[in-house]
Amino acid sequence: MVNLRALALSCAVLFVGCSGGSECTRNSDCAAGQFCSGGACTTECTPETVEVACGAGFSCSSFGMCVSPPDAPGPDVGPRDAGGDAPPFDAPPTADCVLAGGTDADGDGYCAAAATEPDCNDGASDVHPNATEVCTPSRLNAVPVDENCDGELDDGCDWFFGEVTSVIPAGSRHTQRLSPTVSDDGLRVYFTGHGGATSTLHLAERPTLDAPFAAAVAVPLSGGTEPDRSTVRRDELEIVFGGCGRGLWRATRASRLAPFGPSEPIEGTAGLCDPFLSFDGLELFGTQGITGMGFRLHVTRRASLAEPFGPLETVVLPGDDVGGLVGPTLSADGQTLFANAATLGRLYQFERTDAGFVFVRELTELGRRTTLAIAPSGSEAFFSSSSDQPWAAGLWRARVCRDGPCDPYPAVTCPATGVRSPDGLHCYWRVAGPMTWGNAVSACGDGSHLATVHSDAERMLLPGSGWLGGYDNDPMIDLPVLPDCTVATPGCVWGWVTREPWTYDYWAPNEPNNAGAGENALEGGPSLWNDYQSGASSGAVCERESWPTW
Say how far apart CA 496 and CA 385 lie, in whole Å: 25
Most trustworthy range by pLDDT among 113-117, 226-230, 365-369, 428-432: 428-432
Q: What pLDDT score was predicted for residue 73? A: 33
Query: pLDDT per residue over 134-188, tens digit each?
Result: 999 999 889 899 988 888 999 989 999 998 888 865 544 545 667 889 999 999 9
Is pLDDT above 50 for 81? Answer: no
Q: What is the separation of C-alpha 442 from the centre of its chain, rounded to a whole number of angstroms?
A: 37
> What's the confidence (pLDDT) of residue 90?
33
Of 330-334, 382-386, 494-498, minimum mean pLDDT range = 382-386
Class at the top of the CATH hierarchy for domain 160-401 = mainly beta
- In one letter, which amino acid is 9? L
pLDDT tens per residue, range 91-117:
333 334 444 456 676 777 677 665 556
To the nearest whole number, what is the mean pLDDT of the chain?
A: 77
Judged by average pLDDT, the poorest of 35-44, 352-361, 378-387, 437-446 is 35-44
Q: pLDDT per residue over 188-233, tens digit each?
A: 999 887 665 677 888 989 999 988 888 788 888 887 667 778 899 9
Give 320 or 539, the one with higher predicted confidence. Answer: 539
**pLDDT for the residue numbered 228:** 79
Rg of the chain taking only CA atoms, in angstroms: 31
Strand partners, 155: none
Q: Please count the other Cβ atoms lying within 10 Å of the Cβ belonging to residue 460.
A: 12
* DSSP line for 289-330: EETTTEEEEEEEE-SSTTSPP---EE---TTTTSS-EEEEEE
Q: Which of 190-199, 441-450, 494-503 is predicted least confidently?
A: 190-199
Please say if the pLDDT value at position 304 is more than 90: yes
Higher pLDDT, 62 or 299: 299
- pLDDT category at 347 given cuts 50, 70, 90 is confident
Q: Determine what percent of the chain is predicted with pLDDT higher than 70.
A: 71
What is the tens place of the pLDDT at every residue in 9-49? 233 222 233 333 447 765 556 665 565 566 777 667 777 77
Q: Kindly give the pairing relationship between strand 66-67 and strand 272-277.
A: unpaired
Q: Report pLDDT digits (tens) over 522-538.
A: 999 999 999 998 899 99
Chain centroid offset of residue 373 CA: 7
Query: Domain 419-545 belongs to what architecture?
Result: Roll (3.10)
* Confidence at 512, pLDDT banded by 50, 70, 90: confident
pTM of the full structure: 0.74
For residue 243, what pLDDT is reported? 72
Q: Residues 491-502, buried b or exposed e (16+ Cβ, 10 A)?
A: eeebbbbbebbb
More confident residue, 471 or 17: 471
331 pLDDT above the threshold of 90: yes
Which residues make Cβ contacts (< 8 Å) with residue 124, sequence separation at least 6? Answer: 80, 82, 106, 108, 145
- pLDDT confidence tier of residue 77, bands split at 50, 70 and 90: very low
**Contacts of 434 by beta carbon, 8 Å cutoff, 6+ apart:** 537, 538, 539
Average pLDDT value for residue range 347-354: 90
Q: What is the pLDDT of residue 151?
A: 87
pLDDT at 318 exceeding the cut of 50:
yes
pLDDT of residue 233: 93
Q: Is residue 74's pLDDT more than 70?
A: no
Q: Where are the domains of the chain?
A: 1-131, 160-401, 419-545
Choice between 526 and 51, residue whose per-residue pLDDT is larger? 526
Per-residue pLDDT at 253 exceeds 80: yes
Q: How far is CA 454 from CA 84, 213, 544, in A?
A: 54, 15, 15
d(CA 3, CA 18): 18
pLDDT, residue 466, reads 95
**125 vs 376: which has the higher pLDDT:** 376
